[in-house]
Amino acid sequence: MEKIKFDFNNMFSHSIGKSHGVTDADIKGIQKRVNTAHKHLKTIFSNSQDRINLGLEWVKLPFQSKETIETIQNLGDEISSSCGSVISLGIGGSYLGIKAAQEALSPAYYNEFKSLRNGRPRIYFDGNNLDPDTLSVLLKNLNPRETFVVVISKSGETTETKAAFAVVEAWLRRGVGPTYGRQIVAITDPSSGMLRKRVDQEQSKDPLSFRSLDVLKGVGGRFSELNIGLLHLAMAGIKIQEVLDGAASMAKCCGESNLRKNPAYMYAALQTIMYKKKGKPIAIIMPFSERLKYTADWYVQLLAESLGKKYSRKIIRKDGYEAWIADRSKVVNVGRTPISARGTNDLHSIQQNNIEGENDKTVTFIKVERFKDDITVSGTGDILDGRPYSKLLAIAQEATEWALVRETRPNCTITIPEISPYYWGAILFFFEIATAFEGELLGVNAFDQPGVEGYKNYMYYKLGRGGIPEAISDNIKNNPLIKKNKYILR
């Protein structure tokens, strides 16, 4: 297998100068923290209860048993052969990885052309917003008798998914009749939440209704693609084992504390130096590939939800195990702000700001060496004539690097030989390890998302849900949004 290349040259001072570039002394300076972080993660990785308690069980996902994969593959094949369309409902970590896989690993325009699907179903995504316009179009145009529904929610409580599932379930029931539940698979926590409860009820009446797969304990949403996303891979005809093999190869490649031998650690360390010492709080992720657009979106969520934190992490012992709590005496408000862009599309957009706006960002390129179906330009009668698209894309990426370097703008390039299940699994896992490691370097809990609770509580309060802790409902009641008319222009 060819190797993935991680080119960090343009993060260093020899390329972009000392004011903005990392020096060897900076690397030496962070090595001690790298060693401590590595030792800490390694200890957790080696203890299954710690992994589960702290939300790091995802590190084991590349190594799932053949039987697990076979069971999921069989279910995927069965669904795939029994329907023309699948609606996948979920949001955040229960959506983005799957959507990224769909866009990267199925052919472009997969849903539009039968010849591309090889007898597999069209796959639609919903439940990732509360915008009625998308779901209503879908339900008006799909035939419930030929549609399978996969509802994904670890908690089983998320408003967007819950609302969409209620609507879709009613639509299925109306269109299919009493056995409609046989066209539903739920992916949720093995023992808790409303969705699990529902699965148990329906299963006790009919074992073919509301079949389910588990979101494994200790695997959080945004780190769960290699768990919850496997059924989707199976349905779409993407080889699960190849994705896992790619991830496993990256796990091996990112196991050492030596920064020069561990690309994920090097990436995290460089980004941390850039952020903390060089004033670069903005993280632009820019694949030069249309098919990797949603992979960039997936990374945006991974970085933002994992590292954007108010409080520092405090490590304590609880019942003989390590536990992490928010240290309320240490407000840190950290986390780089990720932005998803893509080449060459955004060279005509955000790139102007990248080059001439504030020098407060790093750009991470993902470059693809080979494309399945290259096209050669012909008939322009100029410099484009006879050029393959892949060559033009490669030159555009190199030109973007060059332009950034000339303006002392830090950037790095991850080059994959091709977009395949193997390399896609590998880059996914690379970013997961890098993010977990960056969390260690920043001293925050990368596996919770307390900030998301604020909007949820407010919504629950407005919708009249009981059981909201008094302190929270009082806070909402006593601090309404201030809407002065003079600041509202009509």
Interaction site with ligand PA5 (CB under 6 A): 91-94, 153-155, 158, 161, 220-222, 305, 449
57, 169, 202, 305: which is the annotated catalytic residue? 305
Edge-to-edge strand ranges of the sheet holding 337-340 = 5-7, 411-418, 361-370, 282-287, 337-340
C-beta neighbour count of 352 within 10 angstroms: 11
> Given the complex with ligand PA5, which of 94 and 249 has the nearer CB atom?
94
C-alpha dihedral sign at 308, 310, 314, 320 = negative
> Given the complex with ligand PA5, which of 186 and 283 has the nearer CB atom?
186
CA distance 311 to 315: 12
Type and span of the H or E element at 441: helix 421-442
> Given the complex with ligand PA5, which of 88 and 158 has the nearer CB atom?
158
> Given the complex with ligand PA5, which of 198 and 280 has the nearer CB atom?
198
CA distance 440 to 41: 8
> Given the complex with ligand PA5, which of 153 and 413 has the nearer CB atom?
153
Three-class SS of residue 288? Answer: coil
Least distance in Å: CB of 445 to ligand PA5? 12
> Given the complex with ligand PA5, which of 220 and 439 has the nearer CB atom?
220
C-beta neighbour count of 479 within 10 angstroms: 8
66, 205, 348, 483: which is the annotated catalytic residue? 348
CA distance 175 to 162: 20
285: which strand partners? 340, 364
Least distance in Å: CB of 435 to ligand PA5? 11
Least distance in Å: CB of 99 to ligand PA5? 13
Geometric angle at alpha carbon 442, from 275 and 7, rounded to 5° = 50
Q: Does the annotation count 305 as an active-site position?
A: yes
C-beta neighbour count of 357 within 10 angstroms: 13
Q: What is the DSSP letter of 130?
A: -
217, 239, 310, 456: which is the annotated catalytic residue? 456
Least distance in Å: CB of 308 to ligand PA5? 12
Tokens of 450: 């307390």
> Given the complex with ligand PA5, which of 11 and 168 has the nearer CB atom?
168
Least distance in Å: CB of 338 to ligand PA5? 14
Type and span of the H or E element at 409: none
Geometric angle at alpha carbon 249, from 54 and 152, rounded to 5° = 50
Least distance in Å: CB of 446 to ligand PA5? 11
CA distance 61 to 251: 10
Q: Does the annotation count 348 as an active-site position?
A: yes
Least distance in Å: CB of 306 to ligand PA5? 8
- The closest residue (CB) to ligand PA5 is 221
CA distance 328 to 235: 45
Cβ-Cβ contacts under 8 Å for 49 (sequence gap 6 or more): 321
Q: Catalytic site residues?
A: 305, 348, 456
